[in-house]
């Protein structure tokens, strides 16, 4: 998975604040696309309107569940990255225009090129924010390279896009919350507001395959 | 003889001339589209010069009315909109920045039949009661509501398409969002920011026309969207 180091910026503003701005998101996403294209040989066509829709919807969901307590903030970074992944999958702002000639469909990057791009972006942003703003490290799980997991991820995301939040936790090496993944679970006993979405649990989990 | 209010401003920057050319260019563009079915009936030797004449009017008008706005002017326009700078210079910069925003967002897109008048806008800005202290988006919301209620941006007379209140409101709110957000590092960056402001407002604003009527609601959303742009 490509590490989009160029996503980062040098300003004094904390990265988690910059990431809440559309200008930063568009710039960072375009850099991720360029890096993923260089890494995989796949080419993507970008839809700016869909990118903005994904960001706007993410912003709404992000604001709706923002934690009240500081100790919840690092966990919320992971949750917010998952929310972003679910919205990227929903609005699909990057469509693969050309697959690499030597593509091996047993590899995640070629099995689901858009999903791979979105996961790369969300994991990279998640990891950088945790590292720069919260001095925490991200340790991606080996499931990230497993086609079986990606097959399950794609099927579940098609059925319930919120399941992407749990899958990103899994890929990032965290404990996924398969039940109601769209609901942030406060560690400090603070509130967790309920978004008005489908709360059905994910039917097919990796452990059941 | 005392000068009428706003006389100095009208002398500046050839605003009335740009307003007139802006009107001509918008009418020429709209006329060409409106007469397209009838133009097909014209014999070739007449049709080509007819198209050429209208296209030339549109192009020349667009070129001459293209307001050149610097990063510094956009910065001052932003300060005027929040009430932080009430100088005559800031007022004029806000006028040209607004006109630039309107022209850029509507030239190829929505509200092509509506033209902005820098002259009327400058008069309107000069009449606005300014808050005693800079108040951010509250001042901006007040100005935006006033623009909407004025004739400073209006559909050109005799052009057929109906007034699109939603598109009109989206463009106005997007321009204010752009001016209220943190400035881009480069002049090119400002153009991208303006386009992003429009995309963000279009994706987020569910009732643009109603929002533009409600100063309190407008203040809240302008603050929010400028923060997230």
Q: Which residues of B touch A23 (CB under 8 A)?
A: 184, 192-193, 196, 229
B196 chain-A contacts, CB cut-off 8 A:
22-23, 26, 52
Compute the radius of gyration of chain A from its Cα atoms: 16
What pLDDT is stored for residue A208 in this prediction? 34
ipTM of the prediction: 0.81
| Residue in chain B lying closest to A24 (CA) | B229
For the stretch B184-196, what's the b/e string if a residue is b when 16 or more beta carbons lie within 10 angstroms of its beta carbon?
A: beeeeebeebbbb
Q: Which residue would you say has higher pLDDT here, A2 or B187?
A: B187
Question: Domain for residue A155, yes or no?
Answer: yes
Token pair in block for residue A112: 């689901």
> How does residue A209 score in pLDDT terms, banded at 50, 70 and 90?
very low
Q: Is the minimum CB–CB distance between B109 and chain A shorter than 8 Å?
A: no
Lowest mean pLDDT among A39-48, A108-117, B163-172, B215-224: B163-172
A44 bridge partner residues: A96
Number of independent structural domains in chain A: 1
Nearest CA in chain A to B206: A56
| Rounded Cα distance, A21 and B28, in Å | 39
pLDDT tier, A132 (very low <50, low <70, confident <90, very high otherwise): very high
The arithmetic mean of pLDDT across residues A165-170, rounded, is 97
Residue A197 belongs to some domain of the structure: no
For residue A39, the distance in angstroms to the closest alpha carbon of chain B comes to 27
Higher pLDDT: B67 or A125? It is A125
pLDDT of the residue at A88: 98
What is the pLDDT at residue A193? Answer: 45
pLDDT at B27: 65
Q: Cβ distance A4 to B210 under 8 Å?
A: no
- The residue ranges of every structural domain in chain B are 15-66, 68-228
The verdict on residue A193 lying in a domain is: no
DSSP chain B: -PPPTTHHHHHGGGHHHHHHHHHHHHHHHHHHHHTHHHHTTS-HHHHHHHHHHHHHHHHHHHHHH-----HHHHHHHHHHHHTS--SHHHHHHHHHHHHHHHHHHHSSSTTTTEEE-HHHHHHHHHHSPPPSS--THHHHHHHHHHHHHSSSEEEPTT--SPP-HHHHHHHHHHHHHHHHSPPPSSHHHHHHHHHHHHHHHHHH-S-HHHHHH-HHHHHHHHHHHHHH-
In a domain, A140, yes or no: yes
- pLDDT band for position A102 (50/70/90)? confident
Contact flag B196-A55 (C-beta cutoff 8 Å): no
* Per-residue pLDDT tens digits of chain B, which is 229 residues long: 444 455 455 545 566 667 766 766 666 666 666 666 666 666 676 667 666 666 666 666 666 566 679 999 999 999 999 999 989 999 999 999 999 999 999 987 788 788 899 999 999 999 988 777 767 899 999 999 999 999 898 876 665 566 788 999 999 999 999 999 999 999 999 999 999 999 999 999 989 999 999 999 999 999 999 999 9
What is the average pLDDT across A84-97?
Answer: 98
pLDDT at B121: 94
Q: How confident is the model at residue A161 (pLDDT cuts 50, 70, 90)?
A: very high
Cβ neighbours for A36, distance < 8 A, ≥ 6 positions apart: A2, A42, A44, A109, A116, A117, A120
Q: Say if residue A56's pLDDT is above 90.
A: yes
Stretch A135-152: mean pLDDT, rounded? 94
Cβ partners under 8 Å of residue B223, min gap 6: B136, B137, B180
Closest residue to B203, CB basis, from A21, A26, A56:
A56
A199-204: long-range contacts, CB 8 A cutoff, minimum separation 24: A200/A160, A202/A156, A202/A160, A202/A163, A202/A166, A202/A178, A203/A156, A203/A159, A204/A152, A204/A155, A204/A156
Full domain range(s) for residue A30: 12-188+202-208
Asked whether residue A4 is assigned to any structural domain, the reply reads no
Question: With pLDDT > 90 as the criterion, what percentage of chain A qualifies?
Answer: 78
**Is A153 a domain residue?**
yes
How close does chain A come to B39, measured CA to CA in Å? 35
Q: In Å, how far are A34, B137, B221 from B228, measured between CA atoms?
A: 24, 14, 10
pLDDT at B129: 84
Q: What is the mean pLDDT of residues A139-161?
A: 95
**CB spacing of A23 vs B199 below 8 angstroms:** no
Predicted confidence (pLDDT) at residue A194 exceeds the cutoff of 80 = no
- H runs (alpha helix) in chain A: 15-18, 22-40, 48-64, 73-91, 108-111, 113-134, 147-159, 163-172
Q: Which residue of B has its CA nearest to A21?
A: B228
What number is the average pLDDT over the span A57-76? 93
**pLDDT average, residue stretch A184-196:** 59
**The pLDDT value given to residue A6:** 53
B229: which chain A residues are within 8 Å (Cβ-Cβ)? 21-23
In a domain? residue A119? yes
Judge whether A2 lies within some domain.
no
């Amino acid at each position: 998975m490509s590490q989009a180091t160029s996503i980062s910026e040098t300003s004094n503003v904390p990265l988690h604040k910059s990431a809440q701005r559309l200008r930063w998101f568009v710039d960072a996403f375009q850099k991720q696309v360029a890096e993923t294209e260089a890494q995989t040989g796949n080419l993507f066509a970008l839809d700016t309107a869909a990118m903005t829709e994904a960001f706007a919807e993410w912003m709404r969901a992000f604001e709706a569940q923002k934690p009240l307590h500081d100790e919840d903030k690092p966990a919320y970074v992971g949750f917010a990255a998952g929310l972003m992944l679910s919205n990227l999958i929903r609005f699909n702002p990057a469509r693969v225009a050309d697959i690499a000639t030597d593509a091996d469909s047993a590899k995640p990057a070629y099995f689901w090129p858009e999903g791979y791009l979105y996961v790369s972006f969300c994991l990279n942003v998640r990891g950088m924010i945790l590292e720069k703003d919260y001095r925490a490290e991200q340790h991606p799980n080996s499931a990230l390279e497993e086609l079986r997991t990606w097959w399950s991820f794609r099927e579940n995301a098609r059925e319930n896009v919120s399941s992407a939040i749990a899958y990103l936790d899994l890929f990032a090496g965290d404990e996924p919350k398969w039940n109601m993944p769209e609901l942030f679970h406060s560690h400090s006993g603070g509130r967790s507001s309920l978004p008005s979405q489908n709360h059905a649990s994910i039917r097919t989990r990796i452990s059941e395959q | 003889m005392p000068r009428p209010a706003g006389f100095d401003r009208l002398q500046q920057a050839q605003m009335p001339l740009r307003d007139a050319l802006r009107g001509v260019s918008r009418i020429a563009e709209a006329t060409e589209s409106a007469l397209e079915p009838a133009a097909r009936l014209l014999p070739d030797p007449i049709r080509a010069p007819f198209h050429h004449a209208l296209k030339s009017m549109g192009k020349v008008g667009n070129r001459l009315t293209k307001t050149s706005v610097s990063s510094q002017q956009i910065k001052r326009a932003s300060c005027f909109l929040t009430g932080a700078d009430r100088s005559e210079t800031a007022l004029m910069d806000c006028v040209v920045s607004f006109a630039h925003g309107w022209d850029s967002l509507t030239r190829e897109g929505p509200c092509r039949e509506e033209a902005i008048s820098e002259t009327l806008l400058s008069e309107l800005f000069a009449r606005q009661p300014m808050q005693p202290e800079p108040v951010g988006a509250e001042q901006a919301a007040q100005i935006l509501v006033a623009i909407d209620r004025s004739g400073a941006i209006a559909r050109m007379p005799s052009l057929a398409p109906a007034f699109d209140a939603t598109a009109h409101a989206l463009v106005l709110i997007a321009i204010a969002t752009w001016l209220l957000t943190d400035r881009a590092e480069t002049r090119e960056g400002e153009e991208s920011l303006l386009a992003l402001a429009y995309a963000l407002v279009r994706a987020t604003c569910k009732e643009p026309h109603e929002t533009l009527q409600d100063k309190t609601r407008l203040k809240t959303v302008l603050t929010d969207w400028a923060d997230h742009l």
